[in-house]
Structure 1
């Protein structure tokens, strides 16, 4: 029973985009590892940008600095 956890920042990803990610990951596990899609689980966690750090600062702060 594969379980895949995907963590992304909360950048307004749509439900359709999440569905595509879930389907794509499931398809890879079925094709490459011969896993059963009925017992394959993909969980997407959306993390607030203030809670995701990189290079010593949060993504929220870094984006404010760069205007992104």
Structure 2
């Protein structure tokens, strides 16, 4: 019984969206289930997938909250 957790920042992935769309989540659920079936022979009916969206300021990288980390990266 595989359990897969997907965590992403709560940022829109398409223009105008402020979070992952239901269609994108459904595609991820199907894709992960199919991948586990194809690679490991796991039954999709016994695969559980947990999808979590985290507020951007609750996500850190390089010792900084992500917004501060991104602001510190030089753009060129």
Q: TM > 0.5 between the two?
A: yes
Which ranges of structure 1 fall in alignment gaps of 5 or more residues?
Answer: none
Q: Secondary structure at the match of 1:35?
A: coil
**TM-score normalized by the length of structure 2:** 0.77
- State the partner residue of 1:9: 9
Instruction: Tell me, in whole angstroms, the C-alpha distance in 2 between the residues paired with 1:18 and 1:59.
Output: 23
**TM-score normalized by the length of structure 1:** 0.85
RMSD: 1.3
- State the partner residue of 1:41: 48
Which ranges of structure 2 fall in alignment gaps of 5 or more residues?
Answer: 12-18
